[in-house]
Amino acid sequence: MKLFIPQNYQSILDLHQTELAIKLVKDTFQRFLSSELRLLRITAPLFVLKGTGINDDLNGFERKVTFPVKDIGDQEVEVVNSLAKWKRIALANLKIAQGFGIYTDMNAIRPDEEMDNIHSLYVDQWDWEMVISEKQRNLDFLKTTVKKIYEVIKRTEFVVFENYPEIRPVLPDHITFVHSEDLLELYPDLTPRERETRYVREHGAIFVIGIGGVLKDGQRHDGRAPDYDDWITPTLDGYHGMNGDIILWNPVLEASFEISSMGIRVKRESLLEQLRLTNTTDRISLEFHQKLIQGELPLSIGGGIGQSRLAMFYLRKAHIGEVQANVWPENMVKACQEAKIQLF
C-alpha cells in the first residue's frame, strides 16, 4: 500500500461543506473553461465497441473493463480509458469550426491502477478537444493554450477562497514551462517523477513538455499512447514533442500533483511514425486510424483535466477518497481512519 499521511492532518471543511464545495469547484471550473476555450458541452459514451481503435490504450498494458452486449450478438464493448480519440470523431461529426471545440464529462474504470492518495479505480475528468489549423500545430500555440487553462485554474482557486476564506490561494501568478530533456539535464541522477517534484517545488506550477518520446538517456519521461498526442514532431526549439502535463505543487501532500495531460494531436505523418516507433503498426487498419489517415478528422488540440484531482487540490484534501466515492483496500481505510482522513 502506497499511502502518505500528512503530519497532524485536519480537513479544513467538514463532510457537508465538502460536498457543497465539490459542486462549487465543478460548476465554476467548467463554466470558466468552456468560455476561455470556446467549448461546447456534449454528452459522451461510457463504453465503445472493442476493436475500433477508438479507446485510449494508455501505456498499452492496462486491462480494460469489457463485457458482451446481448442485442448486438454478444459483441464486446470496452469501458473507456479516456476519450482522446473519440473526441476527434465527435469534432468531425458535429462539424465544429476552427477555433472552437467541445468538452464533456469522462468517467473511466481502471482496474490495474495502484491505489494511493491520488489514484483510485475510478477516473473522472473533463475531456476537451478544439479544432486548429496547420499553422497552429506548434509549441507556441500549445503554450498559449496551457496559459489559458492555467488562468481558469487560478480564477477557480479564487472563487473557492471567496466562498471559503480559510482556504487561502497558493498558486503562483504564472505557470513555468520546462522540457523533459531540460529536467533530465538538470537532475540526471533522479527519476522522472523526482525531477518533476524537485522542479515544481521551486516554481509552484509547471508544464512539462515532451511526454512519450525517448530522451537522450534512452528512456521516456513517461508513457503516452502513439495515436493521439504528437510526441515525435520536432519543434523550433530543437526538441521533440508538442504535448505535456500540467503539474502543481501540492502543499498538503508535499509532492508534485499532475492535474492535466494535453497536447497537439497527431496528423497522418506523425501517427504513422509513432506507430512504427512503438511497433503498433497493426492498428493502421482500425476504424479510428483509417479515418485519420484518409483525412476525415480535423487537426486538433485536446486533453483531460482531473475533476476529483482539482477538487482535492482546491479543498486541501489529503486523499482523493475525501472527494470521490470508491472502493479502497481495508488496510488503507484503517490507516486513514486513524489519521482522521474520512474516505467515501
Cell numbers of 223, please? 508513457
**CA count, 13 A, side-chain hemisphere, 203:** 20
From the candidates 34, 256, 260, 261, which is the catalytic residue? 261
Decide if 245 is catalytic.
yes
261 is a catalytic site residue: yes
274 belongs to the catalytic site: no
Q: What is the DSSP-derived secondary structure letter of residue 234? A: B
Indicate which residue of 11, 82, 125, 274 is catalytic: 125
What CA–CA distance (Å, rounded) separates 318 from 4?
8
Cβ 80 vs Cβ 225: under 8 Å: no
Contact 190, 200 (CB under 8 A): no
Residue 153 CB burial class (10 angstroms; 0-12, 13-18, ≥19): buried
Catalytic residue chosen out of the listed positions 157, 222, 245, 322:
245
Which phi and psi angles does 190 have, rounded to 5°? -105, 160
> How far is Cα 98 from Cα 83, in angstroms, rounded to an integer?
20
In sequence order, which ranges of 204-239 are alpha helices (DSSP H)?
A: none
Q: Which of 57, 88, 110, 307 is catalytic?
A: 110
Q: Work out the number of other CB atoms within 10 angstroms of the CB of residue 31.
A: 14
Ramachandran area for residue 251 (φ above 0: left; ψ -120 to 50: alpha; else beta) = alpha
**Facing residues of 109 across strands?**
122
258 counts as catalytic:
yes
Q: Pick the catalytic residue: 196, 222, 258, 322? A: 258
Catalytic residue among 30, 34, 56, 129: 56
Judge whether 219 counts as a catalytic residue.
Answer: no
Residues assigned a catalytic role:
56, 110, 125, 245, 258, 261
